[in-house]
């Protein structure tokens, strides 16, 4: 009976909200103990011991030569762009991404040029990307959306052919692997976000990883006002302050020790969503159909048939299931990027259909079952629900 749905006056399925992006955290006691030590010794930032330790731990975890932690992923993208490309020009990016991706470029004076995505994987379509390269193009920024690696060989071949630097926004992809190698090792460098809502977090934070010694040195200078890092006040050019504090780094060190627990829970939840929904009009995005990569299962992405994404999100929110639209509208439809008439049909279709469901350490298997039961009901009674909502408006 649709009257039993909370949106029409019934009791919500969950008493407390279930979020997309609830932070995965090490035990509170451990974090407080470490914070007490940091406050006691009064070394809070500027290349402190916890930042060094986090960089070393991430290097080991990703098996990458250099890790430069930063204050957030956006600054990481800005620094990487400055280190890799000349001062002006066009950079090809997907429009189906968080607006921080093009914003980081635009903030540094580059023009983001949007390319379309693959309808199955939702990452850059290499053919569309190459068609958008012009004499003004100075770089390619791929995004490993949902933790799915870009078509790395195809993008690398294009970058080599056109002599362009290729780097990656790996905000979604910490802990993911491509052909057995961790994301963090590809392109000229890769940029992670460690925001609270990400699979691995430091509350706010991020990192740039690379196997290039010269580039790593440059990134470290740019992160610290342009200082060359020998303790003198000598600079090599304009830099910024993108340093991570000791408190944030310590959260990262502790959270990293729990990473297997986080991925296991995500995988259990993801498999349960898949098992419950695979035969329905709510198609769970596949993290397992490709044998070439391993996911962190952080994003439970569902594409809907026969029911609008907005309608389902409204119904779920009333039930305290805070599902989210992603990335809708896509970047080329928001200011200041909406002035040019882009034709990106796959981006348009995917951003109209996709919703992301709660997972992570705060979501249990039984919660997933209840969420799926509701989604199934909504998909089956889509017409009735839509009509009732229309009548109410």
Which residues sit at the interface with ligand T4K, rule CB under 6 A? 19-23, 72-74, 97-98, 100-101, 143, 169, 171-172, 193, 195-197, 206, 322
Chain centroid to Cα 337, Å, comes to 20
Least distance in angstroms from the C-beta of 59 to ligand T4K: 20
Q: Which is nearer to ligand T4K, 224 or 328 (CB)?
A: 328
Residue 253: CB atoms within 10 A of its CB come to 18
Residue 348: CB atoms within 10 A of its CB come to 19
Least distance in angstroms from the C-beta of 233 to ligand T4K: 29
Least distance in angstroms from the C-beta of 349 to ligand T4K: 19
Q: Which is nearer to ligand T4K, 20 or 254 (CB)?
A: 20
User: What three-state secondary structure class fits 193?
Assistant: strand
Task: Read off the tokens for 270.
Answer: 């993801």
Contacts with 113 (C-beta within 8 Å, 6 or more apart), sequence order: 90, 91, 92, 93, 132, 137
Q: Which is nearer to ligand T4K, 98 or 342 (CB)?
A: 98
Least distance in angstroms from the C-beta of 238 to ligand T4K: 20
Least distance in angstroms from the C-beta of 315 to ligand T4K: 17
* Rg (the chain; Cα; Å): 22
Q: Which is nearer to ligand T4K, 276 or 328 (CB)?
A: 328
Q: Which is nearer to ligand T4K, 175 or 382 (CB)?
A: 175
Least distance in angstroms from the C-beta of 53 to ligand T4K: 20
DSSP letter, residue 89: E
Q: Which is nearer to ligand T4K, 19 or 243 (CB)?
A: 19
Residue nearest to ligand T4K (CB): 73
Give 256-312 as a DSSP string: HTTHHHHHHHHHHHHHHHHHHHTTSSEEEPPSSS-TTEE-----EEEEESSS-HHHH
Rounded CA-CA distance 108/82 in Å is 7
Q: Which is nearer to ligand T4K, 187 or 382 (CB)?
A: 187
Contacts with 18 (C-beta within 8 Å, 6 or more apart), sequence order: 320, 321, 322, 358, 362, 363, 367, 371
Task: Read off the tokens for 108.
Answer: 């540094």
Closest CA to 151 of 314, 293, 321: 293
Least distance in angstroms from the C-beta of 197 to ligand T4K: 5
């Amino acid at each position: 009976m649709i009257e039993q749905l909370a949106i029409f006056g019934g009791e919500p399925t969950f008493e407390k909200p279930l979020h997309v992006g609830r932070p995965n955290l090490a035990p509170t006691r451990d974090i407080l103990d470490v914070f007490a030590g940091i406050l006691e010794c009064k070394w809070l930032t500027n290349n402190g011991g916890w930042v060094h330790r986090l960089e070393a731990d991430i290097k080991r975890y990703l098996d990458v030569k250099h890790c430069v932690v930063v204050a957030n992923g956006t600054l990481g993208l800005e620094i990487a762009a400055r280190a890799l490309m000349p001062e002006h020009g066009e950079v090809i990016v997907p429009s189906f991404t968080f607006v921080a991706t093009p914003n980081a470029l635009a903030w540094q004076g580059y023009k983001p040029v949007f390319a379309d995505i693959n309808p199955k994987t939702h990452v850059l379509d290499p053919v569309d990307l190459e068609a958008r390269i012009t004499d003004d193009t100075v770089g390619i920024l791929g995004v490993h959306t949902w933790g799915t690696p870009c078509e790395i060989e195809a993008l690398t071949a294009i970058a080599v052919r056109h002599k362009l630097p290729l780097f990656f926004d790996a905000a979604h992809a910490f802990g993911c692997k491509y052909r057995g190698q961790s994301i963090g090792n590809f392109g000229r460098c890769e940029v992670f976000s460690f925001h609270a809502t990400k699979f691995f977090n430091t509350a706010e934070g991020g990192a740039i990883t690379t196997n290039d010694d010269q580039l790593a040195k440059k990134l470290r200078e740019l992160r610290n006002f342009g200082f060359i890092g020998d303790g003198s006040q000598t600079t090599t050019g304009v830099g910024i302050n993108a340093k991570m504090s000791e408190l944030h780094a310590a959260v990262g060190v502790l959270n990293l020790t729990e990473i297997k627990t986080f991925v296991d829970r995500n995988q259990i939840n993801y498999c349960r969503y898949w098992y419950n929904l695979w035969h329905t009009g709510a198609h769970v995005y596949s993290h397992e159909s490709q044998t070439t990569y391993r996911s962190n299962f952080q994003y439970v992405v569902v594409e809907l048939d026969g029911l609008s994404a907005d309608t389902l999100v409204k119904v779920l929110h009333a039930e305290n299931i805070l599902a989210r639209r992603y990335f809708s509208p896509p970047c080329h439809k928001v200011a200041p990027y909406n002035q040019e008439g882009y034709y990106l049909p796959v981006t348009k279709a995917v951003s109209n259909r996709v919703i992301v469901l709660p997972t992570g350490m705060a979501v249990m298997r039984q919660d997933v079952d209840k969420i799926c039961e509701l989604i199934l009901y909504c998909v089956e009674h889509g017409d009735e629900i839509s009509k009732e909502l229309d009548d109410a408006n």
